[in-house]
């Protein structure tokens, strides 16, 4: 049993975050996602978008929520990690359950307080996303099928990402910045397709190493590749639906589709190894950056 004094906890949590929640990946993703969603929602109203204090509050809240969920994942995957990832912090004692739960409680309090300054709706929407994450942890403990079947687990766990998107969009609606309509649903679908392209890419391979949890193990490599490419195509389709009326410049973010197109061709041509992840990560970054730039450069 690991005994930790209170003064040690911040340093141990810091090391956990740097290892299991690398800021250059997770913080970059959270910021780009929140900025792309907000800026696109505002741009679709015809108004100019400029980041405000509320913008950064939403972005920070998304990053904190992602950290909360990452800490939760570390706890619910403990039994699996003891077998397949014995070097993980929770397995080795580099962090404890109590420390992670204390940090999650602090994130909940801070996130709720920050969003209460925006609106009660924003605070409740953020709490709904965090609460769904906790519900999932309980469900996975009770249901071996959800825990062990990759596609079922994705179907059950992915809505927490949707709830975070709804938090960003819903807080804009509550602030009177945008009016809720079908375009909000299309924007959320766009973000879902971008994320799911990356999610399937990282779990699609021709071979599976022992203990690997891959979608391609259930679907087969070719069908998993088709699904992966299909999500990228879905993201492009959502952009055409939303931004085609603005003319060719409005569709400039679609140029990022060259990355998943090349990744799909390479994966199917080489027929060994995994999906070329730089193309999947590049698609996320390029799409979101292009959406933010499109909104920011709007006259």
Tell me the pLDDT tens digit for each residue of 89-110: 888 888 899 999 999 999 999 9
Calpha distance 51→54 (Å, rounded): 8
pLDDT of 82 reads 85
Q: How confident is the model at residue 1 (pLDDT cuts 50, 70, 90)?
A: very low
Q: Where along the chain do the CATH 1.20.120 domains lie?
A: 181-299
Highest averaged pLDDT of the listed ranges 85-99, 146-160, 187-201, 204-218? 187-201
- Helix axes 159-174 and 150-157, enclosed angle (nearest 10): 10
Distances in whole angstroms, Cα of residue 244 to Cα of each of 247, 253, 254: 6, 11, 11
pLDDT of 143 reads 77
Beta pairing partners, 274 = 205
| Predicted TM-score (pTM) of this structure | 0.92
CATH level 3 topology of 181-299: 1.20.120
pLDDT of 150 reads 84
Q: Where along the chain do the CATH 1.10.357.140 domains lie?
A: 1-180
Residues 6+ apart with CB under 8 A from 139: 146, 156
Residues 6+ apart with CB under 8 A from 117: 57
241-279 pLDDT, tens digit each: 998 876 666 667 778 899 999 999 999 999 999 999 999
30-56 pLDDT, tens digit each: 999 999 999 999 999 988 899 999 999
Q: How confident is the model at residue 215 (pLDDT cuts 50, 70, 90)?
A: very high
Calpha distance 125→142 (Å, rounded): 26
1-180 belongs to CATH 1.10.357.140: yes
């Amino acid at each position: 049993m690991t005994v930790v004094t209170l003064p040690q906890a911040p340093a141990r949590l810091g090391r956990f975050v740097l290892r299991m929640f690398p800021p250059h990946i997770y913080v970059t993703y959270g910021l780009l996602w929140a900025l792309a969603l907000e800026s696109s929602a505002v741009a679709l109203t015809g108004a100019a978008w400029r980041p405000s204090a509320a913008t950064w509050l939403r972005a920070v809240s998304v990053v904190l929520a992602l950290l909360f969920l990452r800490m939760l994942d570390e706890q619910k995957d403990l039994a699996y990690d003891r077998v397949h990832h014995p070097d993980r912090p929770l397995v080795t004692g580099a962090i404890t359950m109590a420390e992670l739960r204390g940090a999650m409680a602090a994130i909940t309090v801070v996130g709720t307080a920050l969003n209460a300054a925006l609106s009660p709706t924003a605070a409740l929407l953020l709490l709904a996303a965090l609460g769904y994450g906790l519900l999932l942890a309980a469900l996975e403990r009770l249901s071996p099928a959800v825990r062990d079947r990759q596609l079922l687990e994705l179907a059950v766990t992915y809505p927490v990402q949707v709830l975070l998107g709804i938090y960003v969009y819903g807080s804009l609606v509550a602030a009177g910045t945008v009016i809720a309509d079908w375009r909000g649903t299309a924007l959320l679908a766009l973000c879902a397709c971008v994320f799911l392209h990356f999610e399937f890419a990282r779990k699609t391979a021709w071979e599976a190493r022992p203990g690997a949890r891959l979608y391609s193990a259930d679907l087969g490599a070719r069908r998993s590749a088709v699904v992966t490419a299909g999500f990228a195509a879905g993201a492009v389709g959502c952009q055409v639906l939303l931004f085609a009326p603005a003319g060719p410049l409005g569709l400039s973010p679609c140029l990022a589709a060259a990355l998943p197109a090349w990744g799909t061709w390479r994966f199917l041509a080489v027929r060994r190894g995994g999906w070329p992840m730089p193309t999947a990560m590049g698609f996320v970054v390029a799409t979101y950056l292009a959406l933010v730039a499109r909104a920011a450069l709007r006259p």
